[in-house]
């Protein structure tokens, strides 16, 4: 078993690069079919989606633009836990077919907040495109139109995703090994 050590934890390969890229290509083809003639604006959520966005966009063949946003945690009183504020929205999304490019949807709370924020700017449509989804952790009903892979609730790293800032630069995706 191919394992790596990141900080204090051991991780084993769970999704090889080849499988990731196959699913990324499949989703890009769905987008090419659905959004033909719509000139979509992809909004990639930093930092985790940077590798996914790069691979996805190179498989997208419809005319499109890409822009990047970041989520900043802020200390607010909220019934739903830690809410993150969308920062850096530089593009004008009014009237646009927006596709949010995210690394992983876990509880879904971040995505719901993101959708609420973006909806205030009156886009023509907003679709969610996530590399990974943990269906077992979803706490809200959320329509994730484009998803590459569904995974169990275990913590993963690699291909852009991090453990405490580390491990983003691997080609495969790794799952934490219980010791």
The region of 3-11, 16-24, 92-100, 105-113 touching ligand IMP under the rule CB under 6 A is 105-113
Closest CB to Mg ion among residues 11, 52? 52
Closest CB to ligand IMP among residues 119, 140? 140
Both tokens assigned to 32: 């090419």
Residues in the chain: 179
Whether residue 98 contacts residue 146, with contact meaning beta carbons closer than 8 Å, is answered with no
106 is catalytic: yes
Write out the DSSP string of 9-40: EEEEEEE-HHHHHHHHHHHHHHHHHHTTTS--
In the region spanning residues 42 to 81, those forming contacts with ligand IMP, defined by CB under 6 A, are 48
Position with the least CB separation from Mg ion: 48
Could you tell me which of 135, 138, 172 has the C-alpha nearest to residue 19?
A: 172
In the region spanning residues 116 to 145, those forming contacts with ligand IMP, defined by CB under 6 A, are none
Strands 65-73 and 84-87: antiparallel
Question: Minimum CB separation from ligand IMP for residue 124, in Å?
Answer: 25
Catalytic entry in 55, 103, 106, 127: 106
108 belongs to the binding site for ligand IMP (CB under 6 A): yes
Closest CB to ligand IMP among residues 105, 149? 105
- For residue 134, the 8-state DSSP code is -
As annotated, the active-site residues are 106
């Amino acid at each position: 078993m191919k394992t790596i050590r990141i900080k204090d934890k051991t991780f084993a390969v769970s999704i090889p690069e080849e499988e990731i890229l196959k699913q990324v290509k499949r989703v890009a083809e769905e987008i090419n079919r659905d959004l033909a003639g719509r000139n979509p604006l992809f909004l990639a959520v930093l930092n985790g989606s940077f590798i996914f966005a790069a691979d996805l966009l190179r498989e997208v063949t419809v005319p499109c633009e890409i822009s990047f946003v970041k989520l900043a945690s802020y200390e607010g009183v909220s019934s739903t836990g830690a809410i993150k504020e969308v920062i850096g929205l530089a593009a004008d999304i009014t009237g646009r077919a927006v596709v949010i490019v995210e690394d992983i949807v876990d509880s879904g709370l971040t995505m719901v907040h993101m959708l609420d924020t973006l909806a205030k700017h009156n886009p023509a449509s907003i679709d969610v495109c996530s590399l990974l989804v943990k269906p077992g952790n979803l706490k809200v009903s959320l329509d994730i139109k484009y998803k590459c892979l569904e995974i169990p609730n275990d913590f993963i790293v690699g291909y852009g995703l991090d453990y405490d800032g580390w491990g983003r630069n691997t080609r495969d995706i790794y799952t934490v090994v219980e010791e």
